[in-house]
Amino acid sequence: MPNSLARPTNRKRIALLIHSMEGGGAERAMSQLANRWSQEHEVHLVTWSESKTDRYALESNIIRHGLGLQAPSGGFLAGVFANIRRVRVLRQCLRNIGPDLILSFCDQMNIVALEAARPLKQIPVWIAEHSDPEKQQLSTIWEAWRRRSYPRCTGCIALTENIAEYMLRWIPQDRLHVIPSALRSWPTDIPYQASNSSGKNTLLFVGRLSGEKRVDLLLEAWRIAAPQLDNWQLTIVGDGVLRAELEKLASELPSVRFAGWSSTPETYFAESQLFVMCSRYEGFPVALLEALSHGLPAITTACSSAISELQAANFNEFLKVIESDSVEALSEAIVELASDAARRQNMSQHARDVASQYTWEIVGPKWDKLLDGEGLERRAL
């Protein structure tokens, strides 16, 4: 589509870039931002993966570009040539789109996007980190490429102030901005049920089944906790490279259900009594926000600076934070809250109050400032 195509001056042509739309918090955020902006602008969503692998619903007027470049490269030299090809293909795609703005999500796509856009000097290129780069570090060659490419961005969105401070090593402060994760508004008139009168109570995990999520730690904690909780089950919603290994680990444990990936996780939140997250690190965990929005009391490890931000938003108890990632500490927290329905009921409303501050109605306008020319504030909240 040529850049000369006439369109209203207030209507932008936007190129949104991400590795895939196959599931995950960043991918969900991208789908919701794309849908939001497509109401008034021409949105092109570009991924390394093919569009047939998409798991998130997109508005019909969003133009998809699935580049088919997601396959593993198989070795160092093959990886170098694969990334050279990614740069070339993405550069041509961007030239064909002729965007007024480029916004890239996630570290490796950010690096390739900045390289691909180098000749497109008049186009603003924004990047967004959706994890914590201090803890989720890339290979040596990718980190070297990041040090060279990140300073060229027009601006960068970080999920928390702590993450932004870490990124000062690459990007000047006046180009770093903080916008937290956002969630869709959920019905608030559905009461939280501290006990399931028709069946077992549910301890719920929602997330990608990958190493940093530490589902193995959760299963070991459940091995200790389950004998003390006759009327409880553990439900694990999500998919990933470790699923088979984790299912094998859980095969001898009582009351564990793997539900797989779900496009409607809200059904699981609505049916559960307690949420658990035991990640090694997170950016600003959307699954936790969604659990809180359903009034679910939650247990979490201290895996992100976002946890302290959430706690600062409400002086009442709604979250049980485990400072240690030990199996014993996690199992004790599970038993403690699972055994106290009155405490869970009290935590529920406070959880909803916190989550209500992170809806797209509140967070979305912060993203819109990328388009309206107002500029972004240093601190988003």
- pLDDT: is 135 or 75 the higher one? 135
Containing H/E element for 224? helix 215-225
pLDDT at 73: 63
Burial 89-119 (b: 16+ CB within 10 A, else e): bbbebbeebbbbbbbbbbbbbbbbbbbbbee
* Same-domain status, 135 and 65: yes
Look-up: residue for tokens 């409607």?
264
pLDDT at 378: 44
In the chain, the percentage of residues whose pLDDT exceeds 70 is 93
Is residue 5 over pLDDT 60? no
* Same-domain status, 353 and 364: no
Is residue 380 over pLDDT 90? no
Reported as a single tens digit per residue, the pLDDT across 156-172 is 999 999 999 999 999 99
Reported as a single tens digit per residue, the pLDDT across 234-271 is 999 999 999 999 999 999 999 999 999 998 898 999 99
* Same-domain status, 85 and 222: no
Is residue 222 over pLDDT 90? yes
pLDDT at 143: 96
* Same-domain status, 78 and 120: yes
Please list, in sequence order, all residues whose beta carbon lies within 8 angstroms of the beta carbon of residue 44, skipping any fewer than 6 positions away.
13, 14, 15, 16, 62, 63, 64, 65, 97, 99
* Same-domain status, 210 and 306: yes
* Same-domain status, 240 and 338: yes
> Domain tally for the chain?
2
- Alpha-carbon span 108 to 82, nearest angstrom: 13
Is residue 274 over pLDDT 90? yes
pLDDT at 9: 57
In the chain, the percentage of residues whose pLDDT exceeds 90 is 80
* Same-domain status, 219 and 336: yes
Q: Look up the CATH number of the domain holding residue 132.
A: 3.40.50.2000
pLDDT at 72: 67
- pLDDT: is 330 or 315 the higher one? 330
Helices H / strands E in the chain, number of each:
13, 13
Reported as a single tens digit per residue, the pLDDT across 317-355 is 999 999 878 999 999 999 999 999 999 999 998 999 999
Contact 307, 319 (CB under 8 A): yes
Is residue 200 over pLDDT 70? yes
Is residue 3 over pLDDT 50? no
Taking all residues of the chain, what is their mean pLDDT, rounded to a whole number? 91
* Same-domain status, 25 and 174: yes
Supply 371's token pair. Answer: 């388009």
Is residue 144 over pLDDT 60? yes
- Considering the entire predicted model, what is its pTM? 0.90
Confidence label for 121 from pLDDT (cuts 50, 70 and 90): confident
- Out of 57-61, 97-101, 302-306, least confident range: 302-306
* Same-domain status, 151 and 213: no
- Alpha-carbon span 159 to 181, nearest angstrom: 7
- pLDDT: is 14 or 1 the higher one? 14
- pLDDT: is 309 or 234 the higher one? 234
Is residue 216 over pLDDT 70? yes
* Same-domain status, 208 and 89: no
Handedness of CA 315, 316, 319, 323 (dihedral sign): positive
As a whole number of Å, the end-to-end CA separation of the chain is: 38
Containing H/E element for 104? strand 101-105
Task: Note down the domain range covering 51.
Answer: 13-182+360-372
Reported as a single tens digit per residue, the pLDDT across 69-105 is 887 666 778 888 889 999 999 999 999 999 999 999 9
* Same-domain status, 219 and 144: no
Supply 220's token pair. Answer: 């070991």
Answer whether residue 187 is part of any domain.
no
Answer whether residue 319 is part of any domain.
yes
* Same-domain status, 54 and 174: yes
Average pLDDT over residues 306-327: 86
Answer whether residue 1 is part of any domain.
no
How wide is the angle at C-alpha 328 spanned by C-alphas 326 and 333, nearest 5°? Answer: 100
Answer whether residue 192 is part of any domain.
no
Supply 47's token pair. Answer: 């991924």
Answer whether residue 114 is part of any domain.
yes
pLDDT at 376: 52
- Alpha-carbon span 80 to 140, nearest angstrom: 13
Answer whether residue 72 is part of any domain.
yes
Answer whether residue 4 is part of any domain.
no
CB atoms within 10 A of CB 22: 16
Confidence label for 313 from pLDDT (cuts 50, 70 and 90): confident
Answer whether residue 330 is part of any domain.
yes
Supply 267's token pair. Answer: 């059904």
Average pLDDT over residues 290-306: 94
